[in-house]
Structure 1
Amino acid sequence: MAHKPNRMEGEADMSTVSGGRMSFGEDHMKDLHNQLHQESIDNPNAFWGEAAGALAWDKTFERVLDDSQAPMYRWFSGGQLNTCYNAVDRHVEAGRGEQVAIQYVSPITGTEYGITYNELQAQVSRLAGYMASQGVVKGDRVIIYMPMVPETAYAMLACARLGAIHSVVFGGFAANELATRIDDATPKMILSASCGVEPSGVVAYKPLLDDALEQASHKVEQCVILNRPQLQADLVDGRDVDWQGAMADAPNIECQTVEATDPLYILYTSGTTGQPKGVVRDNGGHAVALAWSMKHIYDIDPGDVFWAASDVGWVVGHSYIVYGPLLVGATTVLFEGKPVGTPDPGIFWRTIAKYNVKSFFTAPTAIRAIKRDDPEGDYLKDVDLSCLGTLFLAGERCDPDTLHWAEQQLDKPVIDHWWQTETGWPVAANLMGTAPVPVKAGSPAKAVPGYDVQVLDEMGDVVAPDQSGNVVIKLPLPPGTLATLWQNEGRYKESYLSMYPGYYLTGDAGYMDEDGYLYIMSRIDDIINVAGHRLSTGRFEEVLCQHEAVAEAAVIGVDDKLKGQVPLGLVVLKKGCDLSDEQLYKELIALVREQIGPVAAFKLVSAVPKLPKTRSGKILRGTMRKIADNQEFKMPATIEDPYTLELVRNALTRMGYADAHV
């Protein structure tokens, strides 16, 4: 690759790419948002072609939007670049190597240190050099199963440096879930660690990894294990290699040129069948979209400090802990801890003040947890947050109470925004760096430029303002969104494009008001959103039915003040079962924890004599959710036995739900 790529002719600097547009003034911000959005829809080639000028390209793209294989659209076809070069090396070459790239903060282990761009380049190039020496080449898959430590970011960037495709699996995921991802991605190498550290204690990763490798059909050639001080892992001869030992004599390696349309990573998200869906992100569109979003949405310029309090196992960690901030030369905070309990509900605020964070991104769940433990904001009173410009919330719907509490305590703009694993960056948001508009509680504001968001009824017609329907995005999706599903284009089309031809189905229901503000209200499928983590009800049911006493199971998501939703299970027992309620409860909870992991937050389960179903055998989960959350509902016309709803109500009431009578 050309290691010092030339900027494209006529390009503007990232920080000034929209400088002319910003001269309209605050009174025109509402119009400016609409103008930018309209430009992106009317002329996507010009809009995104200009945005691409913020990056260094090895070869200029031939087409901005390639619609030759619609509905499989591609961005920047013919273009070549390297994502790691754009995120690391070019900042070093520009003379900013001594700026902190990653600020690591781990209150849970008492560790804090900064990594400069020079140091980041050295670590990443050496890890990539080791991987290359072991035969990892462009297009190979590498699974990363690690905690929130800097080495996890090194691993992602090292894969990008080689053109290898990384797939990060949330550290601590159950062994069988990891095994399914190993078999789907068929990685040449796995990068892992001995453990993660949680408030409850040390979580050993290596036994889970060993179990997953035993279960998986695909055989992995090598595992590189980072042994942490909190727990030393035993290494398997001939397969496992110590991370530090591997790095000691590893050669440095330069960035490898890849096509803009080549995959950068696979990130698995829950599928309604229980089989995970591997979302594929490309290199070119991903880099362009994230760089654009850092300035326009998050108001981050080179040298600013940005903190997304998430995990690299989730899409937020990919987009806004690792790639987004580094692509624009910002400092990113990598945080190993929790909003409360590590050690107290003031840790977020103290970290923001200590490291001069300009924009902070977390989930509403985190703010609710802080509010629960510190309702009067006592931990805020002695903290100087003058550096903080904006608090961004995403991962689940932000209820107005949480938003208003944060506004009152921080005296800062609190911005809800909405997006998905599949989209990779915000679909609806307030453009805080370019064209902020008034906040409306309960809404993530307006569609971001590039996204033609519409609300349709079941027939595919646009509904009137304030009328609920299915939220969709008219094709083509903008750069940075999913290109397809890994090795399953048919499932991609069936899952997202088949219901409304010409549109991407988000899977969410909501409405749009007369001002164009979007309101996301619920899922239209049976995916539960637990503290921002999307988990399949089908997977829960599959696990519950593994218990020898369970004949049938149904799982629904019920409202929870802290986590947004939590899973609630109802099981029908096999005849002759003599287990006590207490014993059954304990065994089912343990089974879900083992198979899905603690992230499931599964603590509500009860036995019922019979589940409510339609005559065709479909379980009435939607009706049960309404009963649990005390919402009005109509008796389904196709119900097989109306009395089953009374049985469900009684069980839900015993668990603290369904106060209203059926």
Structure 2
Amino acid sequence: DSGAIVAITADEARRGAKRVPLKAMMDEALARTDAHAVRALLVLRVTGAEIAMQPGRDYALAPLLAQAAADCPAETMSAEDPLFVLYTSGSTGKPKGMVHATGGYMVWAAFTHDLVFDHRPGDVFWCTADVAWITGHSYVVYGPLANGGTILLFEGLPSHPAPGRWWQVIARHRVTTFYTAPTAIRALMREGDDVVARHDLSSLRLLGSVGEPISPDAWLWFHDVVGQGRCPVVDTWWQTETGGIMIAPLPASVPQKPGSATLPLPGVHSVLLTDKGAVIAGEGEGCLCMAQSWPGQARTIWGDHARFRQTYFSFAPGYYFSGDGARRDSDGYYWITGRVDDVINVSGHRIGSAEIEDAVATDHRFAECAAVGIAHDLKGQGLVVFAVPRDGTADGLAGHATQAIVRVVGRYAAPETIYLVPDLPKTRSGKIVRRLLRKIAGHELDGLGDLSTLADPSVVDRLVDAVARQGGGR
């Protein structure tokens, strides 16, 4: 899709105790596509593993770097020249190559990093995101470095070689700002408060969350246990397409509400629209859209501007359509309810997946869950919940999940089925791949599609086995 003629890879990558065969994966990808398009494959040696090198195409990167000049003058660029093309994670279908412009993107990344994270001289900023994700681009690389900040780079897993690894890193390097995802926060919660307490986290002054709505339960743990009740938590909403943060609390400036993304940043004109494109005034719930442009806005989809216009600007003329739903309360605070296409319609009741998941999160016996809708002859859609027990013990827990949903949301939201599973399918950026869960719940196992975007593709077989053991068929 990109038309790349040069690619860069490594022999292997380390992921905890495992090694990921990147070069072999790249070879397979090139074999599946037009191999002649990529004229050179540059290979960085990381682990020293034996790898196949194709003469005339594959080159070791280190010798080439050694031959290059130490001084590389900066190239003069137009503000609207493409800076990078970043493909969305694939959690919602065919990946889209989002094009960000040099000037506007870097202005927005720097502005939002400075504003939302209250950047100060001497800060040590740690964003745990994969650099290949938009959060890694904006808040590992461009934003902090454009502001002259110090960043911490980490390779590995939060629990390897032992639980508490991240807390050890924070204590050792005196990290001041810690920005991570709800998925990671929930995993760290499972390790226990005592693991956190063993480390000196007094250097922390600000915490951040990104990637998906954070449940009030996880927000409070992050604030009270990790932040020791003294660090503000900035729950940030934005997207690959927006280039940087759009809705977030400014530290110590506004009262915080656990689970709310809070208020739009200066220069962000957010609105809620009905399904028919009408503006919702005051309190209400609808489709989250933007009424005006901002510097970090993606300029197009690489090679498919018609798709860009259709995806983001056809829902309501004059508005950017985010694809997310949101609720606005009486204080003007925004609560992200999940993807609009994650709304489940049960007997005429529109139920957001985030509502169900937040309800289950109120029961501390569950580490995380995902709710999806499947076809139902009578109700239109039936609600299916995949829940991960906190301690791995599943006996008798399904009923507790149902009770939590009925108590918080209402009896009309009682699920058809609750599957207790060991884990959920996620992209490398930590987003739950709901399309896979919908197919597994609907027993459509022959059409699971491309699993290459999953952080751990083996989770699919474990899910299918768990569903089969619980009467879901295979």
Candidates 135, 158, 180, aligned match of 1:316: 135
Instruction: Give 1:499's aligned residue.
Output: 315
Task: Kindly state the Cα deviation for residue 414 of structure 1 after the two structures are TM-superposed.
Answer: 2.1
1:167-178 equivalent positions in 2, closer than 5 A: none
Candidates 333, 338, 348, aligned match of 1:522: 338
Task: Kindly state the Cα deviation for residue 596 of structure 1 after the two structures are TM-superposed.
Answer: 4.5
Larger Rg: 1
Task: Return the alpha-carbon distance in structure 2 between the equivalents of residues 447 and 273 of structure 1.
Answer: 25
Instruction: Give 1:19's aligned residue.
Output: none
Specify the SS of the correspondent of 1:471: strand
Instruction: Give 1:358's aligned residue.
Output: 176
1:457-496 equivalent positions in 2, closer than 5 A: 457-476=274-293, 478-496=294-312
Instruction: Give 1:216's aligned residue.
Output: 33
Residues 302 and 328 in structure 1, CA contact (< 8 A), matched pair in contact too: no
Look up the equivalent residue of 2:317 and give its one-letter code. P
Task: Return the alpha-carbon distance in structure 1 between the equivalents of residues 338 and 235 of structure 2.
Answer: 16
Structure 1 residues 606 and 368, CA, compared in 2 at 3 Å: closer, same or farther?
Answer: closer
Candidates 256, 275, 281, aligned match of 2:100: 281
Task: Return the alpha-carbon distance in structure 2 between the equivalents of residues 227 and 214 of structure 1.
Answer: 22
Spell out, residue by residue over 1:530-580, the C-alpha distance to the aligned partner (whole angstroms, 9 max, x if none). 9xxxxxx9xxxxxxxxxxxxxxxx9x995545767453254799xxxxxxx
The reply to whether residue 428 of structure 1 matches residue 247 of structure 2 is: yes
Task: Kindly state the Cα deviation for residue 459 of structure 1 after the two structures are TM-superposed.
Answer: 2.1
- Mark the runs of 5 or more structure 1 residues left unpaired by the alignment: 1-183, 531-536, 538-553, 574-580, 608-649, 657-662
Task: Kindly state the Cα deviation for residue 389 of structure 1 after the two structures are TM-superposed.
Answer: 0.7
Specify the SS of the correspondent of 1:521: strand
Task: Kindly state the Cα deviation for residue 450 of structure 1 after the two structures are TM-superposed.
Answer: 1.9
The reply to whether residue 449 of structure 1 matches residue 266 of structure 2 is: yes
Instruction: Give 2:347's aligned residue.
Output: none
TM-score of the superposed pair, with normalisation by structure 1: 0.55
Spell out, residue by residue over 1:393-448, the C-alpha distance to the aligned partner (whole angstroms, 9 max, x if none). 1101100000111222122222211111111211110122xx62111011011011
Spell out, residue by residue over 1:178-198, the C-alpha distance to the aligned partner (whole angstroms, 9 max, x if none). xxxxxx111121111111111
Task: Return the alpha-carbon distance in structure 2 between the equivalents of residues 431 and 652 of structure 1.
Answer: 47
Task: Kindly state the Cα deviation for residue 344 of structure 1 after the two structures are TM-superposed.
Answer: 2.6
Specify the SS of the correspondent of 2:244: coil
Task: Return the alpha-carbon distance in structure 1 between the equivalents of residues 131 and 387 of structure 2.
Answer: 25
Candidates 454, 460, 463, aligned match of 1:604: 463
Task: Kindly state the Cα deviation for residue 381 of structure 1 after the two structures are TM-superposed.
Answer: 2.0
Task: Return the alpha-carbon distance in structure 1 between the equivalents of residues 163 and 305 of structure 2.
Answer: 45
Candidates 42, 60, 63, aligned match of 1:242: 60
Structure 1 residues 463 and 484, CA, compared in 2 at 3 Å: closer, same or farther?
Answer: same
Task: Return the alpha-carbon distance in structure 1 between the equivalents of residues 156 and 78 of structure 2.
Answer: 37
Residues 416 and 429 in structure 1, CA contact (< 8 A), matched pair in contact too: yes
Task: Kindly state the Cα deviation for residue 323 of structure 1 after the two structures are TM-superposed.
Answer: 1.1
Instruction: Give 1:660's aligned residue.
Output: none
Task: Kindly state the Cα deviation for residue 597 of structure 1 after the two structures are TM-superposed.
Answer: 4.1
Instruction: Give 2:437's aligned residue.
Output: 568
Structure 1 residues 480 and 196, CA, compared in 2 at 3 Å: closer, same or farther?
Answer: same
Matched positions, count: 391
The reply to whether residue 409 of structure 1 matches residue 225 of structure 2 is: yes
Candidates 179, 182, 195, aligned match of 2:12: 195
Structure 1 residues 415 and 272, CA, compared in 2 at 3 Å: closer, same or farther?
Answer: closer
Task: Return the alpha-carbon distance in structure 1 between the equivalents of residues 329 and 151 of structure 2.
Answer: 35
Specify the SS of the correspondent of 1:379: helix
Task: Return the alpha-carbon distance in structure 2 between the equivalents of residues 273 and 424 of structure 1.
Answer: 18
1:150-161 equivalent positions in 2, closer than 5 A: none
Residues 558 and 568 in structure 1, CA contact (< 8 A), matched pair in contact too: no
Look up the equivalent residue of 2:272 and give its one-letter code. V
Instruction: Give 1:337's aligned residue.
Output: 156
TM-score of the superposed pair, with normalisation by structure 2: 0.75
Structure 1 residues 571 and 383, CA, compared in 2 at 3 Å: closer, same or farther?
Answer: closer
Structure 1 residues 270 and 294, CA, compared in 2 at 3 Å: closer, same or farther?
Answer: closer
Instruction: Give 1:178's aligned residue.
Output: none
